[in-house]
Amino acid sequence: MSKTIFQKIADQEISAHLVYEDDQVVAFRDLHPQAPVHVLIVPRRPIPRLAEAAAGDQAVLGHLLLKAAEVARKLGLGNGYRLVINNGPDGGETVPHLHCHLLGGRPMTWPPG
C-alpha cells in the first residue's frame, strides 16, 4: 500500500514545520492554515480514519489527545482552542490518515460549516 502524505511527513520524506514528535505521534503546521495556529497531530501508524480505529488503537488515540493539549499549551493557546477530526466524505476528510486538527489563536464560531 502506498504511503499517505502524512506518513511521508512522519518519515521525513516530505518537509513540514514540525512542532512535536515522539515514537507514536507527529505534530506539524497545516499547509493551509484556517486559524493563526493550525496544527495537525497524526499517529505514526497509518489508521485511515476514526471509523476504522480498533481496540488496539486506544492507547495511541489517548496519547494523541494528550499531546494535542500539550502542543496547545506550548503554542500559547491558554485562552482556548478547538480540536477537529474529520471522518469520511461528509466529515470533510481529504487525507485518509487519521489526524486531529488543533485550531486556535482566534475565537471559533459554532456551528462549524
Give the nearest distance from C-beta 44 to ligand 5GP in angstroms: 15
Closest CA to 93 of 52, 37, 35, 60: 52
Tell me whether residue 23 or residue 90 sits nearer to ligand 5GP (CB atom). Answer: 90
Indicate which single residue of 23, 32, 110, 113 sits in contact with ligand 5GP (rule: CB under 6 A).
32
Q: Among residues 59, 92, 106, 108, which is the contact residue for ligand 5GP, using CB under 6 A?
A: 92
Does 15 interact with ligand 5GP (rule: CB under 6 A)?
A: no
Q: Which sequence positions are flagged as catalytic?
A: 99
